[in-house]
Amino acid sequence: MRAFIVIVSAALVAVPLSASGDYQISPAVIGSGGGMSTGAAYQTIGTIGQAAIGVVTGPSNTNEIGFWYQPGWVLTGVEEPGDLSPTVFSLSQNQPNPFNPVTTIRFGVPERCRVTVRLYSVTGREVRTLADADMDPGYHTVTLDGAGLASGIYFCRMEAPGFQDTRKLVLLK
């Protein structure tokens, strides 16, 4: 293990530094070609670069060990896909919860149909209808302003053909 540490330390010292202080990779380590590795059960063709450490060979395989480098290429971020169309009905938890006085409720509709979203008190009395319309497929939101409501627990219920779901909302003033 000590020999390994010495080798790694020597390799780090041998890597030249640029004037800006960034690490540079020796051009001798970087390759531009590809190669082929084969074994009894596999074959790899067209890898980019060359092995930086070496080749390990066994009775049924050959493995090239190392890393590859492509100058000028930097990963700056990953773009998330936009909202995909829902495949099932869904009612999400309101955000924020607890709320004061405004909250947003998000729900998914997979096909054009009639959707109702209603707010009920803890006793089961309907307090408000938040949505009652024919809706296109997609994700929709409704905003609940609880300015005229008393603090407490409420229930949001979504109904659509063949679907019903309920979420608990807490209004704290």
Query: Do the Cβ atoms of 99 and 172 come closer than 8 Å?
Result: yes
78 domain-assigned = no
7 domain-assigned = no
d(CA 173, CA 171): 7
84 domain-assigned = no
Same domain, 113 and 64: no
Query: Do the Cβ atoms of 139 and 83 come closer than 8 Å?
Result: yes
In 24-125, DSSP assigns E strands to 36-38, 43-45, 54-57, 62-65, 90-91, 102-109, 113-121
Same domain, 49 and 97: no
**For residue 92, what is the DSSP state?**
P
Q: Phi and psi of 116, rounded to 5°?
A: -125, 140
Count structural domains, the chain.
2
Same domain, 68 and 94: no
Same domain, 106 and 59: no
Distances (CA, A) of 30 to 17, 21, 44, 76, 103: 16, 20, 19, 22, 55
Domain with residue 113: its CATH number is 2.60.40.1930
**For residue 3, what is the DSSP state?**
H
pLDDT number for residue 5: 35
pLDDT number for residue 29: 42
3 domain-assigned = no
69 domain-assigned = yes
- In tens, the pLDDT along 14-67 reads 333 334 444 444 444 444 444 555 566 655 544 445 444 555 666 766 665 555
- In tens, the pLDDT along 82-140 reads 667 899 999 999 999 999 999 999 999 999 999 999 999 999 999 999 999 999 999 99
d(CA 30, CA 139): 48
How is residue 140 written in tokens? 């929709």
Domain that holds residue 146: 90-171
68 domain-assigned = yes
- In tens, the pLDDT along 127-163 reads 999 999 999 999 999 999 999 999 999 999 999 999 9
